[in-house]
Amino acid sequence: MDRTLLLSILLAAAAFGQDQPRPEHPQPQFQREQWLNLNGRWEFEFDDADAGLREGWAASDRKFSRSIAVPYAFETRLSGIGDTSFHPYIWYRRSFEVPAGWKDKRVLLRFGAVDYRATVWVNGRVAGEHEGGSVPFSFDITPLLRSGANSLVVRVEDQPTDRYQPRGKQYWEPKSRGIFYTRTSGIWQTVWLEAAGASHLSAVHIQPSNDGVVRFDARIVNPAPDLEFHASISWAKEVAASTMVRASSDRLSAAAQVGNPRLWSVESPNLYDVRFELRRGGTVVDRVDSYFGYRTVAIENGRVAINGRPVYLKMVLDQGYWPESALTPPSDEAIQYDIRMTKEMGFNGARKHQKLEDPRFLYWADRMGFLVSSEAANAYLFDEVYVARFAAEWAASVERDRNHPSVIMWIPINESWGVPDLRDPRQQNHLKSLYHLTHSLDGTRPVIDNDGWEHTDLTDLMGIHDYARSGDLLYEKYKILGSPGVRIPDGGRVAMIPGFQYNGSPIFLSEFGGIAYIPPGAAVPPESWGYSGVEKTPEAALERLRSLYEAIARIPAIIGICYTQITDVEQEVNGLMTYDRKPKFDSKVLRELNGLLR
């Protein structure tokens, strides 16, 4: 039997076994005690003729012909299907029972992410619809429930060739090529149920300041005049502060003060637990557990400063793909491994590239002390439909992740993707509007308007991409940085959109390197490639890498770097590790190179 086929069968068998895929709570920053994970075996059907709606698949007892392991996309091996061809319409079905202890509770059905457009039915009745492939959504399904078994059906539309649809690195042609990879269609993050009170919290924005004050801006479903909002902050299970306000409207603000707060940093990732409760007459009607970190990010004296201390950004580009599961992390342990290995190489963070990462990644970044540059999955073409789609999804992305101390910057657009003609004033205005939208949702972090090139005069950091083969070439090009009145050298395109002037923001070399090396015995496609050719030995690859690091260390105007990239992905072999996470180089050597940058 073919080895690849055998591996696929074994992986599928494991996914369908007794161990539930991704059993951990999917959103540790907003966790209720009563919840039910719906990952695992679901019925599944391709609907290439788009007949399901006409034929009433949602309401009928029609059995689907396949099984799939949720939350893995059908294109992946862990799904048990592994079909990478185009299927724009797909259906899921499973049954569930509401736990007996949830009587008199509101039952919320939550999806971590479904790519791209989802319609959900419970017991044949529409629960709701959602558009946007990277962000979470939920429905109150209480009125649709019945005693005993309930039917849950999900129809997903994901047009594989639509380049106006935010898609990141998911390729719009049948086979992966160049910098583009296998698609992720349908459910790709955890699905779960929660039991909430008749009055319940829908979101809490946590805004700590390093003087110990922390503000909570909460949204409430079904507020009442006699309702109270309580927040209790703990350190090492001991109460550090608490606050209470009336919750008579659907918006409220509260604040608490922690004395001598322990600050969050890469070296000391201190986190405070916080419990939110809605109470009526002394009775708890809703409870959510979360956490936060005291941490500031600012641009000070031309550097990125965390808690007022300058920090050299030593980041690595992370595509967030796995060979067995594409965009879905195969396990919680896999997330921790990637962060741990990146830190061992001397990096202090990752630029999550063209992907809004699984919330569990950010949870472990918070816990392990790891900086994250958060980025959107971009579209490629511009029109009014794209603008509405992308603005809505980016706003939801910022709202989802703004409570994480590990997230230190936002990048809505990369290399003019989605805005391919920035001579067009409409595209310029869209780019500028995303900068302002991001700051309106979160004023505590820097924003890069268009990472790589074609900047406006708004950006907080000047992100530039350059894949110079040698340190000599890189140094000769950028040694002028920091000189008065200097023009930023152009990369793949002009550094500034014509008509805009450089605003003096700090220079972040947010892509460089891309040195390819294929270790002996590594399984890679024949079309494998690297940005500047493939080195034949690890010594040759490290020699080039050292020359680049030594050149960057001689350019004080560069305040941070992002090396491309942490792992190989499919045919792209620029990784410091192979696609299956085997290190190519000695971590000690990489750590020494990162030590050159201060």
DSSP track, 283-298? EEEEEEEEEE-B--EE
**Domain contains 155:** yes
Q: In what order do the strands lie in the sheet with 137-140?
A: 35-37, 191-196, 106-111, 137-140
**Domain contains 80:** yes
From 142, 161, 194, the end of a domain falls on 194
Contacts of 109 (CB under 8 A, 6+ apart): 120, 122, 127, 138, 139, 140, 141, 152, 191, 193
Based on the fold, state whether residues 413 and 334 are members of the same structural domain. yes
Per-residue pLDDT of the chain (598 residues; tens, 9 = 90+): 334 334 443 444 444 444 899 999 999 999 999 999 999 999 999 999 999 999 999 987 888 999 999 999 999 999 999 999 999 999 999 999 999 999 999 999 999 999 999 999 999 999 999 999 999 999 999 999 999 999 999 999 999 999 999 999 999 999 999 999 999 999 999 999 999 999 999 999 999 999 999 999 999 999 988 999 999 999 999 999 999 999 989 999 999 999 999 999 999 999 999 999 999 988 999 999 999 999 999 999 999 999 999 999 999 999 999 999 999 999 999 999 999 999 999 999 999 999 999 999 999 999 999 999 999 999 999 999 999 999 999 999 999 999 999 999 999 999 999 999 999 999 999 999 999 999 999 999 999 999 999 999 999 999 999 999 999 999 999 999 988 888 899 988 999 999 999 999 999 999 999 999 999 988 888 889 888 778 999 999 999 999 999 999 999 999 999 999 999 999 999 999 999 999 999 999 999 999 999 9
- Identify which of 73, 89, 91 has the alpha carbon closest to the alpha carbon of residue 182: 73
Based on the fold, state whether residues 183 and 204 are members of the same structural domain. no
Whole-angstrom distance, CA of residue 217 vs CA of residue 194: 22
Based on the fold, state whether residues 326 and 288 are members of the same structural domain. no
Based on the fold, state whether residues 368 and 509 are members of the same structural domain. yes
Q: From the CB of residue 533, how many other CB atoms can be counted at a distance below 10 Å?
A: 12
Q: Residue 237 sits in which domain range? A: 200-292
Based on the fold, state whether residues 187 and 206 are members of the same structural domain. no
Q: What is the CATH number of the domain that holds 158?
A: 2.60.120.260
Whole-angstrom distance, CA of residue 524 vs CA of residue 112: 31
Contacts of 2 (CB under 8 A, 6+ apart): none
- Report pTM: 0.95
Q: 213 near 256, Cβ under 8 Å? A: yes
Whole-angstrom distance, CA of residue 272 vs CA of residue 292: 5
Based on the fold, state whether residues 188 and 223 are members of the same structural domain. no
Burial tier of 591 (Cβ tally within 10 Å: 0-12, 13-18, 19+): middle
Partner residues linked to 187 by β-bridges: 114
Q: In what order do the strands lie in the sheet with 297-300?
A: 297-300, 303-306, 309-310
Local structure of 338: helix, strand or coil:
helix
Based on the fold, state whether residues 485 and 512 are members of the same structural domain. yes
**Domain contains 73:** yes
From 194, 226, 248, the end of a domain falls on 194
**Domain contains 184:** yes
Whole-angstrom distance, CA of residue 60 vs CA of residue 45: 14
Based on the fold, state whether residues 347 and 492 are members of the same structural domain. yes
The Cβ-side half-sphere exposure at 86, using a 13 Å CA radius, reads 12
The Cβ-side half-sphere exposure at 20, using a 13 Å CA radius, reads 13
Q: 396 near 389, Cβ under 8 Å? A: no
Report which DSSP code applies to 577. B
Based on the fold, state whether residues 54 and 95 are members of the same structural domain. yes
Based on the fold, state whether residues 374 and 521 are members of the same structural domain. yes
| Helix ranges (DSSP H) in 134-282 | none
Based on the fold, state whether residues 562 and 424 are members of the same structural domain. yes
Buried residues in 378-409 as b, exposed as e (16+ CB within 10 A):
bbbebeeebbebbeebbbbbbebbbbbbbbbb
Dihedral sign (CA 418, 423, 427, 429): positive
From 149, 168, 194, the end of a domain falls on 194
Q: Which residue has the tokens 């073409």?
A: 381
What is the domain count for the chain? 3
Element (H, E) at 517: strand 516-517
